[in-house]
Structure 1
Amino acid sequence: MNHELHELCKALPDMWDDQFRQLVEDIRANGLLHPVLLLDDKVLDGRHRYRACLECGVEVRFSPFEGTDPAAFVISENLARRHLNDSQRALVASKLTGLGRGRPKKCPDSDNKPILQSEAAKMVSVARTSVVLATRLRKEATPALLAKVESGDIAVHEALKIAQLGAPAQDRVAQIQDRKQRRLAMAEAHHRSAGRATAPRKQFMTVVPPGTEFVRDVLTRLELFTNHVLGADGEVDAFVDRFWAEFDWQEPLLLKRLEHAGRGIKAVARLQQHLERRAEAA
């Protein structure tokens, strides 16, 4: 009888291939030393031992989960022995968010309330902002890029920048092992994309866009900024959270550049006030 994986179990990333091969050979030589734990007839802990037994033909020994908090158990058992980095843990927390705790009906608190984002962050010892970014990444990244983050090869912050590219470019950049080479490839892909976005269209007759040259130039720059920073969905909160999380507040040069940019931000904010007043008067 084949057993499905419990949702809590699937929140953890897979072993590296070489680690799994070592596990297979160990079980082939020594047998299964620790039983696979089941909850509701699904594998809660030991999915790699389960797969290894099936591969090398060793009989699987199962044991029912006897604890009261499966979610806490899975995290406690796996975080230390798997040596996950911050980005991997943030992805785990993102997957845990919304899942039920899986508590057996015999427990006093058996209503199986979903895990909140703040709870998931605390369980894996990462900041809630990191979980927010990981959740956004899971929506925007291709499976190939996401797999690189889950394996620990690429950090969430870098992956979010790569995820701004189209799917083929994401997959291509994600396969580059060297981080410096990835950055160069990503910058090149962004430039090509920006060039296509701003390339003039063929027209059979010359059409002069409305507005003065100054107004057209400002709106074009603001539109490019909005598309590049906020993306198609225009998620302001996600942009602010990401910038706040990634900004180095100890770096004087960055602080100086941010202060200079502040004048432009104030100018745009004042323009927005005028727009709002005009809209109210209309």
Structure 2
Amino acid sequence: MAYTQHPLSAAFPPMTDDALMMLRDSVESIGIQNPVVIFEGAVIDGWHRYCAARELGATCPTVDLPVDVDPRDFVLAQNRARRHLTASQVAFVVTAVHDWVPAHRPVENKSAPGADLPKTSAELAEIAGVSVRTIERTKAVIREGVPELQAAVRSGDVPAKRAAEIAKRPKPEQAPALKKARAPKHVPAAHGDEPLRARSIESIEAPQIADLARELAEAVADNEAMARVFEANDQVAAALAEAKRFRQENRVLNERIHGLQNELNAAKRQAKYWQRHAKGTAE
């Protein structure tokens, strides 16, 4: 049976070419080790594994998502453990996942017991570990942005702040503006043999400095929020503690190696001294 990719899984950025190549090599060597998870007749987890198996003609085991598991929580937990995403990417994924409407959600009476109500921006920010402003910008991109602009944020090519500015433009103007935002910044060539000098901070206008300061403050806030989310995870905390222990052991080993090297150098000097002394005595 052929499957399609579930929209919740499609909210995450695709794997890089190198990662896909490594996955195909793994499937070709040892097959699919972790079953692909199916929900609503589509692949909610393991899409790349499924595609690699079909491409190579390998057997692809599947399992259904348990009925008591929230598909949004599941797909976020599965992908967060595997991927290294920027704050903008995390904000986009969390917003897109929670924007999905499950078939069982009560629509007519949102106050009914058990109603699956939409998350507020503050709730999404807490889940994503980013600032509320980053979530609001992401919502604007999803609501007003063309598909190319949304894909650019999802892949990490363009930050949410820049994408939200582009999303304010009429849709026909967004793709050209996105192309311009992605264009590499060319450094003007120096005249003659005169070295090219960096522009001093005094030459930057005050509004630009204020924008840079705001962007820096937002980036710091997003990083701190993401750090709090990661630190709340027991597995991550344990991994951090283990890494700290390894660093301490490595420092002790480096000090021991340094001491042994000094002892070896001293022994070499002493050996050379006795060699010269023995040669002088023989003469």
TM-score bracket for this pair, using the shorter chain length: 0.5 to 0.7
Aligned partner letter, 1:43: V
Larger radius of gyration: 2
Q: Would you say the 8 A contact 2:149–2:175 is kept in 1?
A: no
What secondary structure, in the 3-state scheme, does the structure 1 residue paired with 2:157 have?
coil
What secondary structure, in the 3-state scheme, does the structure 2 residue paired with 1:81 have?
coil
Q: Which fold has the larger relative contact order, with Cα–Cα distance below 8 Å and residues 6 or more apart in sequence?
A: 2
Shift of 1:16: 2.1
Q: Would you say the 8 A contact 2:50–2:60 is kept in 1?
A: yes
Task: Give the paired residue count.
Answer: 183
For each residue in 1:177-233, what CA deviation from the matched residue of structure 2 results, as whole angstroms up to 9, or x when unmatched?
A: x3x459xxxxxxxxxxxxxxxxxxxxxxxxxxxxxxxxxxxxxxxxxxxxxxxxxxx
Whether 2:163 is the aligned partner of 1:159: answer yes
Shift of 1:158: 2.0
Residue 177 of structure 2 is matched in structure 1 by 170
What secondary structure, in the 3-state scheme, does the structure 2 residue paired with 1:97 have?
helix
The match for 2:132 among 118, 128, 131 is 128
Whether 2:154 is the aligned partner of 1:150: answer yes
Aligned partner letter, 1:73: F
Alignment identity in percent? Answer: 29
Residue 9 of structure 2 is matched in structure 1 by 9
RMSD over aligned Cα atoms? 3.3
Shift of 1:47: 1.1
Shift of 1:112: 6.7
Residue 272 of structure 1 is matched in structure 2 by none
For each residue in 1:141-169, what CA deviation from the matched residue of structure 2 results, as whole angstroms up to 9, or x when unmatched?
A: 33333322211122111223344551342
Residue 50 of structure 1 is matched in structure 2 by 50
Whether 2:108 is the aligned partner of 1:92: answer no
Residue 25 of structure 1 is matched in structure 2 by 25
Q: CA separation in 2, counterparts of 1:112 and 1:39?
A: 21
Alignment TM-score, normalising by the size of structure 2: 0.55
Aligned partner letter, 1:117: T
Residues 102 and 34 (structure 1), Cα distance of their counterparts in 2 relative to 1, 3 Å cut:
farther
Residues 117 and 28 (structure 1), Cα distance of their counterparts in 2 relative to 1, 3 Å cut:
farther
Q: CA separation in 1, counterparts of 2:147 and 2:6?
A: 21
Residues 135 and 115 (structure 1), Cα distance of their counterparts in 2 relative to 1, 3 Å cut:
same
Q: CA separation in 2, counterparts of 1:114 and 1:59?
A: 40
Aligned partner letter, 2:84: H
Consecutive unaligned residues in structure 2, runs of 5 or more: 105-112, 188-210, 219-283
Consecutive unaligned residues in structure 1, runs of 5 or more: 104-109, 183-242, 251-282
What secondary structure, in the 3-state scheme, does the structure 1 residue paired with 2:3 have?
coil
Shift of 1:2: 1.6
What secondary structure, in the 3-state scheme, does the structure 1 residue paired with 2:81 have?
helix
Residues 90-99 or 135-144, more deviating = 135-144
Residues 174 and 181 (structure 1), Cα distance of their counterparts in 2 relative to 1, 3 Å cut:
same
Residue 197 of structure 1 is matched in structure 2 by none
Matches within 5 A, 1:156-235: 156-164=160-168, 166-176=173-183, 178=184, 180=185
What secondary structure, in the 3-state scheme, does the structure 1 residue paired with 2:99 have?
coil
Shift of 1:127: 2.6
What secondary structure, in the 3-state scheme, does the structure 1 residue paired with 2:4 have?
coil
Shift of 1:135: 1.2
